[in-house]
Amino acid sequence: MLVLGVDPGASATGYGIVARSDGALRAVEYGSITTSSSDPFPSRLQHIFCRLAELIRRHQPDVAAIETLVYAKNAQSAFKLGQVRGVALLASVEGGLAVAEYTPLQVKSAVTGYGAAGKSQVQRMVQSLLELHEPPRSIDAADALAVAICHHHSAALRHLMRGRG
C-alpha cells in the first residue's frame, strides 16, 4: 500500500509518500510545498493543488491521509488552513484517491505513543520508523510522513480486527 500523507499549511504544506513492503515502511518521497506570503492567496492555493496533483499522478498512491484542523492561532489562520485542507482534499479526490483524515493527537499517538509529543520527538520517531539516515529537515515533511505512518498503522489494525470478527 502506498500512502500520501499531507500536513496542510498556508506557507508550507508538508507531503510524504510512504510504502509498506514486506511489513516494513519506507519513505518514497517527502518534502514541503512552500508559497510566498507576498503572492495572492488564490495563487498560493493553486500552487499547492498543482504540486499535490503532480505527486499523485507521478506516484499513484492508494490513499491520501490528511491531517485535520484542531487548533489555529486566530480565525484568519483557521480560514486559510481550512482552504488549504480543501485544496488537498480536492487534489486527492480528483486524483481518484480514497481519503482518510486524522487529528494531530491520533498522528502523534500512532507515531510516538504519546499524543502530546513535541515536533522533535515526531521527527526522531519518523526517522526511526522509516530508517532514514537523518530526521527530515522540514517539520512539515516530518509531520506529513507521520500522517502517512498513522494511516499505515490504522489500516494494519483494521485488517487485524477484520480477521478476528
CATH number at residue 19: 3.30.420.10
Number of separate domains in the chain: 1
Q: Which residue of the set 22, 54, 67, 134 is catalytic?
A: 67
Q: How many CA atoms lie within 13 A of 95 on its CB side?
A: 26
What is the rounded distance in angstroms from the CA atom of residue 149 to the CA atom of residue 153?
Answer: 6
**Per-residue pLDDT, 23:** 84
Of the pLDDT bands very low, low, confident and very high (cuts 50, 70, 90), residue 165 is very low
Average pLDDT of span 4-9: 97
pLDDT at residue 93 greater than cutoff 90: yes
Angle between helix 119-129 and helix 104-112 axes, rounded to 10 deg: 50
Strands (E), 46-92: 63-67
Is pLDDT larger for residue 95 or for residue 164? 95
* Structural domain range at position 32: 2-164
Q: Is 22 a catalytic residue?
A: no
Q: Which residue of the set 62, 101, 131, 140 is catalytic?
A: 140
**What pTM was computed for the model?**
0.93
Rounded to the nearest integer, the mean pLDDT of the chain is: 92
Q: Is 134 a catalytic residue?
A: no
